[in-house]
């Protein structure tokens, strides 16, 4: 199962219903404090139910909505690549389609509603029968389903199996199901069983945050190992082995308890009869906690005491090693790696290695990668389809949109910032200049009437400190000042000059791109 979409409502800065599309590799960009990390943390809350990196509380409701009395948060995930069949009670097979648990796009939509920071109520939002004669069948007991079959004289091959009963009833009303969007409570009867089985198909979600507490128990570098433990323990064969171990321990503990109570009964029957052994069920055991102290250290210095660059290097190495492991072992288990600002404390070469590793991981079966970044270098090495731009309007309403190609043919964070936030920067000016120069268009650009009218004198300094007077366009004037900051002989260009030059280059490139498309 993979994430197709995420829906947020009343969660932190996302005051209104907000829908976000996901690919195998999805990268969120935008200004600081715009809500990039919020998306990753919402997913952590959804998948890990407060047992992961983030816990939900009252303060997570949107501030403005909370002032109006609305404290209810909804986090919904829509899944694709669904299991073909689901096994109930170890023997009975059914499908999400047969149970009418898919939405209008034939995807699984799971809603988790939180109120006051409490445990969520889980619903499956689906196109489900609304005809009163055959609605809510997933919430009915076996006896209730049998009663419907008997009263309506419906044939059913096996009335001891609820899935068969439901199928027979729905087939009986097949011409009048009245399918409608329905929120099905996943905490009752067979809906609960199906949800519990679906949970086994859920991918492991691992969030790596950019800023973590500087403590031995919660160091940034422990996360790769902790997440590795989660993946390892999610292996089906290992689950079976651990369950066998737990059952054996459970059996022997039960024997000890029975023998102890038997001896107590000889001494005081009244007390003995009032006591019963309490042994946690196998499915409640937290095997991951056995390995919670896993860590990497060197020279007796815990990694969390090392510099942030070293910590991120180890994180980088974890992902590169994970690529090789999944290829070598042909590992197709579902996993989602969510990483905040992977470029932190890394120079361009390490950023290149990291993004290459993450792109390889994202291309593997059942793997999704989610990033936030401020790195123009990382963005440049992505595809447009990978990018999601987060903005807000004058009413503070968040909007998440796909990034479309503009003037430059490759994804550019500088261009995104210019088009979305009107940020005219020297870096973007440089990118545009280099693009025109690289395409061999510079002479044609300088000859256009709008550009030619901006000519001015530029004083160049030669190696022997001799001065030469050149006549150049505004664009070239700015370019020389950017690349020769030590030359103070010329009047510094203004912000308006920079903006005018950028717009002239953008207009020129747009015209060239348009003419090439029409050929």
One domain, residues 137 and 195: yes
The reply to whether 58 falls in a domain is no
Flag whether 279 is in a domain. yes
- Determine, yes or no, domain membership for 212: no
102 lies in the same domain as 197: yes
346 within domain boundaries: no
Q: Which SS3 state, helix, strand or coil, does residue 82 take?
A: coil
Evaluate whether residue 22 is within a structural domain.
no
Instruction: Indicate the number of domains in the chain.
Output: 3
Within a 10 A sphere around the Cβ of 195, how many other Cβ atoms?
A: 21
Residues 192 and 271 both lie in one domain = no
pTM: 0.79
pLDDT tens digit sequence for 495-508: 999 999 999 999 99
379 touches 342 (CB < 8 A): no
Q: Do 182 and 247 belong to one domain? A: no
User: What is residue 312's predicted lDDT score, i.e. its pLDDT?
Assistant: 67
> Both 249 and 177 in a single domain?
no
Segments in 381-494 forming alpha helices (H): 413-421, 426-438, 442-447, 449-452, 474-483
Helix or strand (DSSP H, E) at 459: strand 456-461
* Residue numbers in the chain where pLDDT is lower than 50: 212-222, 301
**Same domain for 87 and 184:** yes
One domain for residues 191 and 283: no
Last residue of a domain, one of 248, 274, 294: 294
Alpha-carbon gap, residue 411 to 431, rounded angstroms:
11
Domain containing 191 equals 82-202
Task: Summarize pLDDT for 209-257 with one digit per residue, the tens.
Answer: 875 443 444 444 445 666 677 777 777 778 788 888 888 888 887 877 7
Determine the Cα–Cα distance for residues 167 and 159; give it in Å rounded to an integer.
11
Q: Are residues 198 and 254 in the same domain?
A: no
Cβ contact 287:242 at 8 Å: yes
Contact 50, 34 (CB under 8 A): no
Give the start-end residues of each E strand in 30-151.
72-80, 86-88, 92-94, 108-115, 121-129
**DSSP calls for 190-203:** HHHHHHHHHHHHSP
Residue 384 counted as domain residue: no
Domain-ending residue, one of 202, 229, 252: 202
Domain assignment present for 389 = no
Can you give the pLDDT at residue 221?
A: 42
Longest dimension (CA), the chain: 111
Q: Are residues 262 and 156 in the same domain?
A: no
Question: Cβ(424)–Cβ(501) under 8 Å?
Answer: no
What was the pLDDT predicted at 138?
Answer: 92
Please report the sign of the dihedral spanned by the C-alpha atoms of residue 73, residue 77, residue 78, residue 82.
negative
Q: Do 254 and 194 belong to one domain? A: no
Residue 4 lies in a domain: no
**Cα 272 → chain centroid:** 53
Same domain, 197 and 86: yes
- In this structure, the answer to whether residues 86 and 177 fall within a common structural domain is yes
Task: Note whether 190 and 100 are within 8 A (CB).
Answer: no
What SS3 class is residue 61? Answer: strand
Residue 307's pLDDT is what?
60
């Amino acid at each position: 199962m993979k994430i197709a979409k995420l829906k947020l409502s009343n969660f932190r800065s996302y005051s209104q219903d907000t829908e976000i599309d996901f690919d195998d590799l999805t990268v969120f960009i935008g200004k600081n404090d715009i809500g990039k990390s919020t998306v990753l943390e919402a997913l952590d809350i959804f998948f890990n139910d407060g047992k992961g990196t983030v816990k939900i509380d009252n303060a997570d409701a949107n501030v403005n909505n909370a002032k109006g009395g609305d404290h209810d948060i909804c986090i919904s995930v829509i899944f694709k690549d669904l299991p073909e069949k689901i096994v109930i009670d170890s023997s009975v097979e059914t499908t999400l389609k047969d149970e009418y648990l898919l939405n209008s796009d034939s995807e699984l939509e799971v809603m988790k509603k939180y109120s006051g920071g409490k445990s969520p109520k889980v619903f499956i939002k689906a196109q489900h029968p609304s005809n009163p004669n055959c609605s809510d069948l997933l919430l009915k007991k076996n006896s209730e389903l049998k009663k419907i079959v008997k009263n309506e004289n419906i044939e059913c091959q096996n009335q001891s199996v609820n899935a068969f009963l439901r199928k027979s009833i729905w087939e009986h009303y097949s011409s009048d199901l009245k399918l409608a969007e329905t929120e099905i409570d996943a905490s009752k009867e067979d809906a609960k069983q199906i949800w519990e089985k679906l949970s086994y198909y859920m991918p492991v979600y691992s969030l790596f945050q950019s800023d973590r507490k500087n403590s031995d128990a919660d160091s940034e570098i422990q996360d790769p190992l902790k997440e590795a433990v989660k993946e390892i323990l999610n292996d089906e064969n290992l689950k079976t082995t651990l369950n066998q171990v737990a059952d054996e321990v459970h059996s022997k503990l039960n024997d000890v308890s029975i023998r102890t109570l038997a001896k107590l009964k000889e001494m005081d029957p009244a007390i003995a009869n009032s006591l019963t052994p309490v042994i946690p069920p196998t499915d409640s055991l937290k095997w991951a906690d056995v390995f919670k102290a896993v860590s990497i250290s060197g020279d007796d210095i815990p990694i969390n005491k090392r510099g942030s660059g070293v910590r991120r290097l180890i994180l980088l190495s974890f992902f590169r090693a994970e690529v090789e492991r999944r290829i070598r072992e042909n590992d197709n288990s579902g996993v989602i790696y969510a990483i905040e600002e992977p470029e932190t404390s890394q120079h361009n070469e390490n950023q290149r290695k990291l993004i290459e590793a993450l792109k390889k991981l994202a291309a593997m079966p059942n793997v999704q990668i989610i990033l936030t970044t401020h790195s123009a270098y990382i963005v440049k090495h992505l595809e447009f389809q990978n990018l999601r731009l987060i903005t807000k309007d004058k009413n503070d309403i968040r909007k998440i949109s796909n990034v479309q190609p503009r003037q430059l043919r490759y994804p550019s964070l500088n261009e995104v910032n210019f088009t979305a936030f009107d940020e005219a920067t020297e870096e973007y000016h440089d990118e545009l200049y280099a693009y025109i120069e690289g395409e061999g268009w510079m002479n044609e650009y300088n000859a256009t009437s709008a550009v030619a009218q901006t000519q001015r004198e530029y004083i160049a300094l030669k190696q022997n400190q001799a001065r030469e007077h050149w006549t150049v366009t505004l664009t070239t004037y700015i370019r020389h000042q950017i690349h020769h900051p030590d030359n103070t002989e010329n009047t510094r260009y203004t912000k308006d000059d920079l903006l005018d030059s950028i717009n002239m280059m953008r207009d020129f490139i747009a015209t060239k791109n348009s003419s090439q498309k029409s050929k």
